[in-house]
């Protein structure tokens, strides 16, 4: 019988590893491995109800706000906002969360800071990047 060697990070014996933990790396933020649904996501411009809700944003700005498609797994420790919530606020994902039909999740890491601050309700011109504008 072959000797069993313990390797850190391998919590289950090989024959049962996939059965016991079928999505071992789900939600982990390790490099760029795996799908990045925000790269091909619809934007706030494309979603009619969201477009209406964000009526103070220009079409160009709405096109810069990707909304994760249904079924997209949120990355652990990444920051998001759900624009479908009654009172949208930013939150940090746990890694086991998935975008459902009732969510309009926007990842913070792909939205410019001025747009992000407007999305979370910031009104300070310094934080919006409009302090020098009239």
Q: List phi, psi (to 5°) of 98.
A: -130, 140
Residue 34: name the closest of 25, 24, 43, 46 by CA: 25
Residue 43: strand pairing partners:
66
Mean pLDDT is lowest, of 1-5, 76-80, 101-105, 111-115, for: 1-5
Question: Which is more confidently placed, 60 or 30?
Answer: 60
pLDDT of residue 53: 94
The tokens describing 23, both together, are 């999505």
Q: Which residue has better confidence, 2 or 121?
A: 121
pLDDT value of residue 41: 85
Is the separation of the CB atoms in 43 and 51 below 8 Å?
A: no
pLDDT of residue 95: 79
Task: State pTM to two decimals.
Answer: 0.68
Torsion of CA 64, 129, 132, 51, to 10 degrees: 40
Q: What angle do CA 96, 102, 108 make, to 5 degrees?
A: 60
Mean pLDDT on 55-71: 95
């Amino acid at each position: 019988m072959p000797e069993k060697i313990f390797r850190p990070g391998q919590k289950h014996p090989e024959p049962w590893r996939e059965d016991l933990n079928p999505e071992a790396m789900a939600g982990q933020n390790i490099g760029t491995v795996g799908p990045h649904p925000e790269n091909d996501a619809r934007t706030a411009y494309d979603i009619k109800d969201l477009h209406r809700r964000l009526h103070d944003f220009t079409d160009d700005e709405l096109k810069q706000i990707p909304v994760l498609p249904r079924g997209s797994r949120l990355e652990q420790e990444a920051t998001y906002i759900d624009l479908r919530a009654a009172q949208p606020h930013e939150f940090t994902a746990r890694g086991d969360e998935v975008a459902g039909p009732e969510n309009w999740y926007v990842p913070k890491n792909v939205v410019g800071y001025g747009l992000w601050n407007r999305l979370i309700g910031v009104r300070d011109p310094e934080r919006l990047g409009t302090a020098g504008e009239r």
